[in-house]
């Protein structure tokens, strides 16, 4: 080795070492002492960051809270964790180790039950009891959904609904008349699908990767609209028997839809290419919730006039998915912090903020007392139409991400392709789901 090189390497080593050491010991303190004397510092792990659909709304919410009387003394200390997948991994670790943040946002995945059973989140029932006006904002179902062993742990901020978006232009081209509210039966929907196929148009948007979101919406609707028993099954938290006649029949119809009525990339595919098929006018009907509406106007995602081409209908039999959402929790142990955290959660559910959330992100108000301002009709007619049509639903039901165990959702996503290609029968598919449910 020549001396020049030796010097170069020594220099590089030296630089790296100094940089590293400076980096190691130059950290600011990590304790909770930031801010002036009597401020209450609330730690939050926020997953509404980056490209998350709620990023702007949540940054507004946290900012504006510190300007209210209740929040004037509060200072937030944020940890950002992009994606709910990463967020849930970390929250599970923190539940186990007992280091939960003061405000525990809820990223789904049965976190409420996990946190409540661990005893590391605060029982919020007394706060609800002490403020009847606040409690009155919520319907019983929403609160029940956030109750474990008789105690309320989560404050739900929205309701989740979904239905079908359809492309009016493609309906015209295939000569299919779109129903005003919904196809009366699944057979009517499938008959329309056949017409689309004849016209060379793919009728349905479906997927299977991640959690198989779109397919799950079809599946839930199929089960719930089979019969009264199906409706009940689809409104049950953690069902254990997946081999009921309704579920098996629905799986059979799902198999048909996956193999005949959707795009070739639906099997094994993620949500995004499927949404793009819909934006590009390659798919006639697409199940989803109101949070998709802002995308119809996004210049990056959809063609310029796409928003005007979209219509809305309910699932056949006037079915609509509607579930309470898992609410945000309080992980603080210090009484002052618990009070401040509850104050924030109250603030996040004020009527004004529910409307704000609806306008900014399409999150549906959790409270039925929220009246939609007329301005919305002009600025976002599609969103207003959602609110109108949801009142016409005759059957409402949940969907698997709200009601199933994590590993059953995973089995659903993993075995959909097997079902689609006929490697397993609908019966075997349902047996696989049941097998997974038993592991819990």
Partner 1 sequence: MKRITLLCSKYFFMLVILFLSLAPIFWVLMSSFKTYSEINSSALSLPSSLSLNNYAAALKYAPIQKYFLNSIVIVGAGIIVTVIFVAMCAYAVSRFRFLFKPVIILLIAASLMLPAQSISQPLFSIFTSLRIFDTKLGLILVYSAMGIPMSFFVMLSYYRSIPFALEESAYIDGAGFFRTFFSVILPLAKPGLATVAMIQFINIWNEFYFALMLTSGDTARTIPIALNYYMSTFANNYSALFAAVIMTITPTIIFFIIMQKQVIDSLTSGAVKG
Partner 2 sequence: MVRNKRFWITLFILPCMALFAFIYAAPIITVIVTSFTKYTAFETPSFIGLSNFKTIFSDNDFLISIKNTVIWVLLQSSFHVGLGLAVALTMRRRPKGWKLLRTAYLIPNIVPTAATGVMFTLLFNPSFGVVSDLYTRLGISSPVPNLFGNSGYAFWIVTATWIFYSAFNTIIFLSEINAIDRQIYEAASIDGATPWQMDLYITLPLLKNVIGTCVVLASVAMVSQFDIIYVTTKGGPGTATLNLPIYLYKTAMLENNYGKANAVGVIQIILGISLVLLIRWLFRTRDKINGDGSGLL
Could you tell me which of 182, 161, 163, 179 has the C-alpha nearest to residue 171? Answer: 179
Footprint of partner 1 on 250-289 (CB under 8 A): 271-273, 275-277, 279-280
Instruction: Burial-class residue 92 by CB neighbours within 10 Å (0-12, 13-18, 19+).
Output: middle
Residue 281 φ/ψ region, left for φ over 0, alpha for ψ in the -120 to 50 degree band, beta for the rest:
left
| Per-residue tokens: 150 | 């008789």
Q: In this structure, are residues 214 and 220 in contact, taking their beta carbons and an 8 Å threshold?
A: no
Q: Is 439 in the site for partner 1 (CB under 8 A)?
A: no
28 binds partner 1 (CB under 8 A): yes
CB closer to partner 2 out of 263 and 353: 263
Residue 192 Cβ vs partner 2, minimum distance, rounded to whole Å: 22
Q: Which is nearer to partner 1, 211 or 349 (CB)?
A: 211
- Please report whether residue 301 would count as binding partner 1 according to CB under 8 A: yes
User: How far is Cα 369 from Cα 64, in angstroms, rounded to an integer?
Assistant: 23
333 near partner 1 (CB under 8 A) = no
**Shortest Cβ 29–partner 1 spacing (Å):** 9
Nearer to partner 1, 86 or 191 (CB): 86
Q: Of these partners, partner 2, partner 1, none, which one is at the site of residue 79 (CB under 5 to 8 Å by kind)?
A: partner 1
Nearer to partner 1, 230 or 294 (CB): 294
User: How far is residue 88's CA from residue 97's CA, in Å, rounded to a whole number?
Assistant: 14
Query: Least distance from C-beta 10 to partner 2, angstroms?
Result: 21
**Which among partner 2, partner 1, none contacts residue 413 (Cβ within 5 to 8 A by kind)?**
partner 2
Question: Measured from the CB of residue 211, what is the shortest distance to partner 2 in angstroms?
Answer: 10
Question: Which of partner 2, partner 1, none binds 264 (CB below 5-8 Å, type-dependent)?
Answer: partner 2
Helix (H, G, I), strand (E, B) or coil at 181: coil
Give rounded-to-5 percent helix, strand, coil for the chain. Answer: 50, 15, 35
Residues that bind partner 2 (CB under 8 A): 88-89, 92, 95-96, 114, 117-118, 208-209, 263-265, 267-270, 273, 277, 405-407, 410, 413-418, 420-421, 423-424, 439-440
- Look up residue 182 and give its DSSP letter: B
Given a contact cutoff of 8 angstroms between Cβ atoms, the answer to whether 214 and 271 are in contact is yes
- What count of residues does the chain have? 440
Query: Would you give the DSSP letter of residue 315?
Result: B
d(CA 192, CA 171): 9
Which of 106, 263 has the CB closer to partner 2? 263
Q: Please calculate the CA angle 297-299-301 and round it to the nearest 5 degrees.
A: 85
Nearer to partner 1, 93 or 191 (CB): 93
Quick one: what does residue 130 bind among partner 1, partner 2, none, with the CB cut-off 5 to 8 Å set by partner type? none
Give the interface size with partner 1 as a residue count (CB under 8 A).
51
Minimum distance of partner 2 from residue 372's CB (angstroms):
38
109 in the Ramachandran plot: left (φ > 0), alpha (ψ -120 to 50) or beta?
left
- Please return the burial class of 423, using the count of CB atoms within 10 Å of its CB with bins 0-12, 13-18 and 19+: exposed
Q: Which helix (H) or strand (E) holds 261?
A: none
Residue 438 in the binding site for partner 1 (CB under 8 A): no
Sheet holding 74-80, edge to edge: 74-80, 40-46, 103-104, 329-330
Looking at 76-84, 136-144, 196-204, 319-327, which segment touches partner 1 (CB under 8 A)? 76-84
* Shortest spacing between CB 162 and partner 1, in angstroms: 12
Site residues for partner 1 per CB under 8 A: 1-2, 5, 8-9, 13, 16-17, 19-20, 23-25, 27-28, 30, 45, 49-53, 79, 81-86, 89-90, 93, 96-97, 99, 210, 213, 271-273, 275-277, 279-280, 291-292, 298, 300-302
């Amino acid at each position: 080795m020549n001396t020049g090189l030796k010097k170069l390497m020594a220099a590089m080593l030296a630089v790296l070492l100094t940089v590293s050491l400076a980096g190691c010991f130059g950290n600011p303190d990590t304790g909770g002492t930031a801010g002036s004397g009597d401020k209450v510092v609330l730690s939050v792990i926020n997953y509404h960051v980056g490209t998350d659909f709620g990023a702007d709304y949540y940054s507004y919410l946290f900012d504006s809270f510190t300007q209210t009387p209740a929040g004037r003394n509060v200072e937030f200390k944020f940890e950002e964790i992009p994606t709910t997948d990463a967020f849930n991994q970390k929250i599970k670790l923190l539940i186990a180790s007992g280091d939960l943040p003061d405000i525990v946002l809820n990223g789904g995945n049965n976190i409420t039950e996990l946190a409540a059973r661990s005893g590391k989140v605060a029982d919020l029932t007394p706060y609800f009891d002490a403020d009847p006006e606040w409690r009155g904002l919520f319907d019983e179902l929403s609160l029940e959904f956030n109750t474990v062993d008789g105690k309320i742990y989560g404050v739900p901020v929205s309701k989740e609904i979904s239905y079908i978006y359809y492309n009016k232009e493609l309906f015209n081209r295939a000569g299919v008349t779109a129903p005003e509210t919904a196809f009366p039966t699944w057979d009517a929907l499938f008959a329309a699908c056949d017409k689309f196929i004849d016209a060379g148009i793919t009728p349905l948007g479906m997927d299977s990767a991640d959690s198989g979101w779109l397919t799950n919406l079809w599946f839930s609707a199929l089960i719930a609209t089979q019969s009264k028993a199906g409706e009940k099954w689809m409104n049950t938290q953690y069902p254990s028997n997946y081999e009921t006649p309704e579920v098996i029949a629905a799986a059979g119809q799902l198999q048909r839809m996956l193999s005949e009525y959707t795009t070739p990339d639906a099997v094994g595919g993620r949500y995004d290419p499927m949404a793009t098929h819909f934006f590009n006018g390659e798919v006639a009907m697409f199940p989803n919730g109101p949070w998709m509406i802002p995308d119809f106007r996004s210049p990056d995602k959809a063609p310029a006039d796409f928003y005007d081409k979209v219509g809305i209908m309910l699932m056949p039999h006037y079915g609509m998915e509607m579930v309470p959402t898992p609410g945000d929790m309080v992980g603080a142990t210090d009484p002052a912090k618990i009070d401040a955290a509850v104050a924030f959660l109250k603030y996040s559910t004020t009527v004004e903020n529910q409307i704000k959330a609806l306008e900014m992100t399409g999150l549906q108000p959790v409270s039925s007392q929220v009246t939609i301002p007329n301005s919305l009709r002009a600025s976002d007619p599609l969103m207003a139409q959602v609110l109108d049509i949801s009142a016409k639903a005759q059957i409402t039901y949940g969907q698997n991400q709200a009601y199933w165990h994590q590993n059953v959702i995973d089995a659903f996503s993993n075995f959909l392709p097997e079902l689609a290609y006929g490697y397993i029968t609908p019966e075997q598919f349902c047996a696989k789901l049941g097998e997974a449910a038993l592991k819990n």
